[in-house]
Amino acid sequence: MKLNSKGQVTIPAELRVRYNLHEGDEVDVIEEGGALRIVRVEDAETRGRRLVRHMRGRGGAREMEGMSTDDLMDLLRGD
């Protein structure tokens, strides 16, 4: 693993799956015993709750009537 110019690293996909980490999840980097640990932030909003919060109040048959598939995908993706 390499540290990039912004001080970022990529957590390998296998580990993201194993530890149920998703884009937008909050983590902390903690120094412990001369090593760094990546830990999930306690009480952070889950991915599912972020999605629900994002979508709340956006749906409804009237609002979506006449929208193209592309329009709906943009709405769902938050673009």
* pLDDT tens digits, one per residue of 6-59: 999 999 999 999 998 888 888 999 999 999 999 988 777 777 777 888 887 776
Number of domains making up the chain = 1
DSSP classification of residue 7: S
Higher pLDDT, 71 or 62: 71
Instruction: Report the alpha-carbon distance of residue 21 to residue 46 in Å, rounded.
Output: 10
Does 1 map to a domain?
A: no
Residue 29: inside a domain? yes
Residue 68 and residue 75 in contact, taking contact as beta carbons nearer than 8 Å:
no
Asked, for residue 4, whether it belongs to a domain, the answer is no
Q: What is the span of the domain harbouring residue 33?
A: 13-77
pLDDT given for residue 79 in this prediction: 56
Look at residue 63 and tell me whether its pLDDT is greater than 80. Answer: no
Q: Is residue 17 part of a domain?
A: yes
Say how far apart CA 53 and CA 59 lie, in whole Å. Answer: 12
Any domain includes 63: yes
Residue 57 in domain: yes
7-12, Cβ contacts within 8 angstroms, sequence gap of 24 or more = 11/38
